[in-house]
Amino acid sequence: MEAIETDSTVSLTRSFRFGREIADEASRILRRLGEDVPLTGNPALSSRVGTCKPNAILARTNANVMTALIQCLDEGRKPHLVGDNKDLKELLWGVRDLKEGRPTDVADFFGFTSWESVVDFAKTTEGEHLTTFVNLVQSKGEKRLLWAINQSVSEEQAEVVISTAHKAKGREWKNVRLMDDFMKSREVRTPAERAEREREDAAELRLFYVAVTRAKEAIEIPVMSGKGEPPRASAISSRPVARALPKTVVAQPVDWQEPVKQS
């Protein structure tokens, strides 16, 4: 399409899903991606960026999907997990196998022979992508997490939908809350690492754009705190400053059993 020459160009930039405020947030992300034409919202709709009671919670990673799931169950809300969640269950089955001294074919744990070695790896820079998941398993236990996944109800019965941003593409909800694992920063040491980081940033910004634009009325976006957490879109008008992430603080594991229902 870039090779086609035309007399005029028309940009399809109006979204009829949301109003001006959400459109403005999305436009800030687009500017980071080199887009000069801003997104415009539906003038007939009122939308806002701020806290809300979400109809949907979106996360960047599976670990934070499980974190959101536990939070909703603790609050007594009925959750629906988007997708068949086989990937979540396989992660936890892999943890179980490693704890029991068996090898696992789960890709995230390739080359590991024990759960302890995964915990140690998560404390390193190379293993930072496993930090949240490891801490979640150590604090909640894989048994409770597997139980929680099985509490997912149908979307028609649910009070809140929980999904990764990838699975949320093409979807929309009235009020959306984002988890705090979007646009994580990491330390950059060499020119090659900087170039790789810039490529990764573009992909992450596109996914962040998808997440921000799923809401119709309200979008709750975590605000940058200076500790590596993701920024609200309005805080990313310039390139993020690379910073070192804090080391993993691993909680003691628990041996959780599902409560026995009284007859």
The confidence band for 194, taking pLDDT boundaries of 50, 70 and 90, is low
Q: Which of 143, 159, 148 shows the shortest CA–CA distance to 57?
A: 159
CA distance 45 to 23: 11
The confidence band for 185, taking pLDDT boundaries of 50, 70 and 90, is low
Q: Which of 120-129, 168-177, 230-239 has the lowest mean pLDDT?
A: 230-239
pLDDT of residue 235 exceeding 70: no
The mean pLDDT value for 68-88 works out to 93
Across the chain, mean pLDDT equals 83
Q: Position of tokens 């919670």?
A: 57
Q: Does residue 197 sit in helix, strand or coil?
A: helix
Q: Which of 164, 184, 199 shows the shortest CA–CA distance to 231?
A: 184
For the chain, the structural domain boundaries read 15-60+165-241
pLDDT of residue 249 exceeding 50: no
Return the number of other C-beta atoms located less than 10 Å from residue 62's C-beta: 19
pLDDT in tens, 95-105: 999 999 998 99
- CA 71 to each of CA 32, 67, 94, 121: distance values in angstroms, whole numbers, following the listed order: 33, 6, 23, 27
The confidence band for 18, taking pLDDT boundaries of 50, 70 and 90, is very high
pLDDT of residue 40 exceeding 50: yes
The crossing angle, in degrees rounded to 10, of helices 191-212 and 20-32 is 160
| C-alpha neighbours within 13 Å on the C-beta side of residue 76 | 0
Return the number of other C-beta atoms located less than 10 Å from residue 23's C-beta: 22
pLDDT of residue 66 exceeding 70: yes
pLDDT in tens, 109-150: 999 999 999 999 999 988 888 999 999 999 999 999 999 999
Report the percent of the chain where pLDDT is more than 70: 78
pLDDT recorded at residue 222? 86
pLDDT recorded at residue 262? 53
pLDDT of residue 48 exceeding 90: yes
pLDDT of residue 254 exceeding 80: no
Tell me the pTM. 0.78
CA distance 138 to 145: 11
Q: Which of 143, 185, 181 shows the shortest CA–CA distance to 164?
A: 181
CA distance 40 to 100: 54
pLDDT recorded at residue 239? 42
pLDDT recorded at residue 9? 81
- CA 149 to each of CA 88, 171, 253: distance values in angstroms, whole numbers, following the listed order: 8, 21, 19
Q: What is the DSSP letter of 234?
A: G
* Contact (Cβ atoms closer than 8 angstroms) between residue 56 and residue 168: yes
The mean pLDDT value for 52-69 works out to 95
pLDDT recorded at residue 113? 92
pLDDT recorded at residue 65? 95
